[in-house]
Structure 1
Amino acid sequence: MTEIEKARKIMGKNIIGPEELKAVPRLAVQIPASVSLVPYDANLLKRLSESHLLIFFTREHADGSPLTIMSLRSRFGIDPEASEPCFYNQDWYIREDFATKAMLKNRWYLIRKDVDPKSRAKLPEDIKKSFSLNEKFPSAILTAYAFFAYHLLTGKKIWEDDFVWTSDADHNGDRIYVGRYKDLEGVNKNGFNIHRHLRIRKMYGAAPLLQ
C-alpha cells in the first residue's frame, strides 16, 4: 500500500487520481468522497513509473449513470472532423455487454502505456503464458477510460499506433482488442478502435471457384 501523495510524487505525470480527474470535466466522473490507498508497493511504482500509468477508475458519471464504453462514446463522439479525441466510427459493439454494462469497481489500476515488445504478433493465449502471477489483460472499458483521460490531461495518446488485447469477449466469445488511434497509412480516419478477433468456427468455409 502507498499513500496517494507519495504515489503522485513517484509517478509524476503518469498518475490519474481524484485530483487529476477533477481537471478533466469532459469525462464528467463521480469521484468518491473517500479514495483508498494505492494498492501497490512504492518500490513497484518506482520501477514502473515511466512505463505504466497509475489510474483511479470510477464506475459512475457525475449524474450517477454507469461509466461504460457507450457512455464515453456518447461524450466523445465518432467524428474526428467534429472533435478529437473520439472513437472510431463503428457500431458492431453497441449492444454488447462489455460496451454497455459497468464492469469494474472503483479502484486503482496500473496499466502499461505501450505494447510489450515481447508480445507483438502473438495470440493472447500465448502471451498469457509469459505473464507474471499478478499480470493480466485489461478490460476494454479500462483501456478506453485510460486513453481518453490521459489524452485530456497530457495531450498525448497511449497505444496511438498499436492494438492491445483486452480481457473481454463479445457474445460469440471472440476476444476484444482496442487502440490504434491513428492509421499510419492514412486510409482510415482517426479514432479509438474497438475490434474483435474472430475465431474459426463451423460457419466459416470455402466456396471454391472453378477457373
Structure 2
Amino acid sequence: MTKYNTLLNILDVIRKEAPENHKFYHPLESNQIDLDKARSRAFIHLFLKVKFGLLTFDERKDFVTDGTDDGGIDGYFIDIDNKKIYFIQSKFRSNQGNFESKEIKYEELLNMDIDRITEGKNTHENGKVYNSKVLKLISKITEIPDIARFKYEIIILANTKDVGNNKLKKLTDGNPVQEYNFEKVYNELVFPVITGTYCFDPYKPRVFLNF
C-alpha cells in the first residue's frame, strides 16, 4: 500500500467518526466528488488531531471552517497557553500524482482574509458575510482579553515548491508560515497515526477556546 493510500484510509476513518447527522462526512461511496470533499475536510481534522491533540470529532468540528464564504481560512486553532492563533489553508488532492506534485496557487494564499478577520470585520471586502464558523472565530478573537499579546501563524497544507518563506510571509500578511508539503504530511501526520505516537499526555490539560 502506498503512503497516499494509507492517508486515504486514515481520512476515511476520521470522516466516519462524524455522527450520522453530519451528512457531509458520509457521502455515498459511489459519489466520488462528494467523497473527495469529505476527505478534504477530514484532512484538516487530521492536522488538528495530530498537532493539537483534538482527539474527538466534537473537539475538532468547530475549528474546521472550510466551505463557502470562509475568507480563505479552512481551519484554525487558538493556543491560549502559548498565546498564538493558527490559521490553516488546506488543499487536498484526490489522486496521488496531484497530491505529491500540484502546488497551491498564489491567489489562494492572497484570498486569506487574515487582517479582516483579526480586526473583527464580519464580511469580505465585497460586503458578503463570512460563514457561521468564521463568524464564531471572529467572536472568539474579540473576546480574548489580552489579544494584543497573541501572535498569528499560518499553516499551509499544500505544496508550495519554489516559493521561499519570505515570499510566503508576504502572501499571508507578513505572518510566519509553516508549509506541510506531501512529504511532511506523510512524515508528521500519517506516520504518527499509524505508529500511535501522536497521542498527547491525557493528564496534561489541553486549554483551548471552544465556546
TM-score (norm 1): 0.26
> Which structure ranks higher in relative contact order (CA pairs < 8 Å, sequence separation ≥ 6)?
2
TM-score (norm 2): 0.26
The structure number with the bigger radius of gyration is: 1
Larger relative helix fraction: 2
Larger relative strand fraction: 1
